[in-house]
Amino acid sequence: MARILRLLLFAAAATLALPALAHAEERTLTFTTPAISVEGYGVAQQPMLAESPKIDGYVVGMEAEVVDAQGRVQGRDKVMLHHIVFAKVGVPDYTCGGAAERFFAEGEERLALSLPRGYGYANKATDRWGLLYMLMNHKPQRLNGFIRYRVRYVTGEALTPVKPIWLDVRNCTGPDPVFDVPGGGRTFSTFTKTADFTMPESGRLVSGGGHLHGGGVRLELRNATCGTVPFQSRPTWGGPKPKPLLHEPGPTKMSSFRSTAGIPVAKGDRLRLAAVYDNSAPHTRAMGIMLLFLAPDAVRGCGATPALDIDLGRPSAPPAFSMPLPRAPKGKVSRAASTWVGDFRYGAERILLRRGTTFTWNFRGSVQHDVTVVGGPQGFSAPWTLTGRFSHRFTKSGTYRLFCSLHPAKMVQQITVR
Ligand SMILES: [Cu+2]
């Protein structure tokens, strides 16, 4: 009897001791989505539920890529990862509220998440993740892409939890948070779009990185309350260009920072994100996004920015670029002040207008389309839409090249304004 009691006591002690004895462990978990079919020269975008770690722990790093059925990473000339956003479902977003907390995103710049040692994004076994993808196929035939994401995950250890803060100059405006840079300025002139966010709590920003599109000069994080610019994310350009070009190529890398001490921000501080773009030429459907990670902490006043560990890349000014249409516009020249937009074509592809004319596109597709200037005297674009109309008044003479950004190889248009 005494022996059994001793065994039971020993077992109980062992159970009690288990959490303390459990080894802190970091492992890399790999997940792959089901096949995503993308039509030739087309774009596929969709939200979907995503597999996530089924044990309580912390995300400390993350990256995503597009692979084929054999698991080979796809280059920018096949099925390209245009954008991907991961969110925790049922949790309000820090800056947008709602029911999806955005915590990781990647674009062409392939920005991986990597938190400084000791910090983690807390995750429960029961948490549900979703992702929103946008893939682009640069081949003429329909292809399957698979999104493979790797999560560096820590269990058995209490880390300092961080909160993702999604700053976006077009925040909370839906799945396509874009704006247009009109262009037409002198060489080296810039166009800046800003957005402010007031901090609801104090803490330290321990990691951050940015997202810009073609023509981007820099993404600036300013503390408008303190009058400081603690971080700028700058683009690196170059690398192989996909052919045919279906959009203006974006940066191949954006600089990011990590800091164990963290950039101090106090409750009530106004953070101002500024996306600075080249304005010597139009850059349509541009973005300006910065994802920061906050470790809540007692911070007062305007503290000094600590030394940041910056992954700089090789930043430079955006290269001059002229985007050709994927095919030549065809048909009779129309002088009418409107046309229709249907499935995979515009009513008129060649149009001649007098300066000052307001031109209207009437949408009547069974899938979404848009109108996007890719070159010309002034940049503008219409949002993705099924029905309704979009108008633009042409005040600058010249030749405008346009396409549907969702079906760029099929839907092209040229408008000459005299
Ligand atoms: Cu279209």
Centroid of ligand 1 to alpha carbon of 3 (angstroms): 78
Taking a C-beta distance cutoff of 8 angstroms, is the pair 380, 283 a contact?
no
Centroid of ligand 1 to alpha carbon of 409 (angstroms): 9
pLDDT tens per residue, range 244-265:
788 888 999 999 999 999 999 9
Centroid of ligand 1 to alpha carbon of 362 (angstroms): 13
What's the CA angle centered on 234, arms 231 and 240, to 5 degrees? 155
> Exposed, middle or buried: residue 302 (CB in 10 Å: 0-12, 13-18, 19+)?
middle
Q: Quick one: CA dihedral 361, 366, 368, 373, positive or negative? A: negative
Q: Quick one: CA dihedral 361, 367, 368, 373, positive or negative? A: negative
Taking a C-beta distance cutoff of 8 angstroms, is the pair 177, 287 a contact?
yes
Centroid of ligand 1 to alpha carbon of 323 (angstroms): 18
Centroid of ligand 1 to alpha carbon of 120 (angstroms): 41
Amino acid at 377: P
**Predicted local confidence at residue 108, as pLDDT:** 85
Centroid of ligand 1 to alpha carbon of 142 (angstroms): 16
Q: What are phi and psi of 139, to 5 degrees?
A: -105, 155
pLDDT at residue 277 tops 90:
yes
Centroid of ligand 1 to alpha carbon of 194 (angstroms): 29
Enumerate long-range contacts of 326-329, CB under 8 Å, 24 or more apart: 326/41, 326/244, 326/245, 326/246, 326/403, 326/408, 326/409, 326/412, 327/409, 327/412, 328/412, 329/412, 329/413, 329/414
Q: Place 377 in a pLDDT band, splitting at 50, 70 and 90.
A: very high
Who's near 11: CB < 8 A, 6+ residues apart? none
Q: Give the mean pLDDT of the chain.
A: 92
Centroid of ligand 1 to alpha carbon of 220 (angstroms): 33
Closest CA to 79 of 121, 40, 30: 40
Most confident of 6-20, 112-126, 312-326: 112-126
**How many other CB atoms sit within 10 Å of the CB of residue 212?**
28
Centroid of ligand 1 to alpha carbon of 367 (angstroms): 7
pLDDT at residue 19 tops 50:
no
Cα separation, 287 vs 11, in Å, equals 58
**Predicted local confidence at residue 242, as pLDDT:** 74
> Exposed, middle or buried: residue 217 (CB in 10 Å: 0-12, 13-18, 19+)?
buried
**Predicted local confidence at residue 1, as pLDDT:** 39
Centroid of ligand 1 to alpha carbon of 43 (angstroms): 9
Centroid of ligand 1 to alpha carbon of 187 (angstroms): 32
**Predicted local confidence at residue 22, as pLDDT:** 59
Per DSSP, what are the bridge partners of residue 407?
A: none
**For residue 175, is the peptide bond before it cis, meaning its omega torsion is within 30 degrees of 0?**
no
Centroid of ligand 1 to alpha carbon of 345 (angstroms): 7
pLDDT tens per residue, range 50-92:
999 999 999 999 999 999 999 999 877 788 888 999 999 999 9
Taking a C-beta distance cutoff of 8 angstroms, is the pair 336, 372 a contact?
no
Cα separation, 181 vs 179, in Å, equals 7
Task: Count Cα neighbours of 276 within 13 Å in the Cβ-side half-sphere.
Answer: 16
Task: Count Cα neighbours of 114 within 13 Å in the Cβ-side half-sphere.
Answer: 11
pLDDT at residue 122 tops 80:
yes
Centroid of ligand 1 to alpha carbon of 40 (angstroms): 13
Centroid of ligand 1 to alpha carbon of 30 (angstroms): 34
Centroid of ligand 1 to alpha carbon of 406 (angstroms): 5
